[in-house]
Amino acid sequence: MDRSLITDLTDLVARTEGPIVEIGAGDGALTLPLSRQDRKVTAVEIDPKRQAVGPTDPRERHRGLRRHPALPASPEPPT
């Protein structure tokens, strides 16, 4: 991800309050910079090919970040 885009997004988020939800977190290129906001960050990635497996950076553990595998899709309701 482009560093200037990460900077722009983290600056934008810094002007808000409350928990942060990152949709489409992928390998976490934005997740760690968002965690520096000292706010709860929930990163969601449903594509198992794009999900990082566990904290890949020791700073993630320090900041309390956790990565969890995606939940399986719900079965289609009966018709």
For 13-44, how does the pLDDT look when each residue is reduced to its tens digit (9 = 90+)? 999 999 998 888 888 889 889 988 988 888 88
Q: What is the pLDDT of residues 40-60, one digit of tens each?
A: 888 888 877 776 555 555 555
CA–CA distance from 24 to each of 32, 44, 47, 49, 62 (Å)? 14, 6, 8, 12, 23
Q: What pLDDT does residue 76 have?
A: 62
Q: What is the mean pLDDT of residues 57-64?
A: 53
User: Which residues, in sequence order, are CB contacts of 19 under 8 Å at separation 6+?
Assistant: 39, 40, 41, 42
pLDDT of residue 74: 57
Close Cβ partners of 28 (under 8 Å, ≥ 6 residues apart): 43, 52, 56, 57, 60, 67
Query: Between these two residues, 51 and 68, which has the higher pLDDT value?
Result: 51
Query: What's residue 58's pLDDT?
Result: 54
Q: What type of residue sits at position 26?
A: G
Tokens 């993630």 belong to which residue? 60
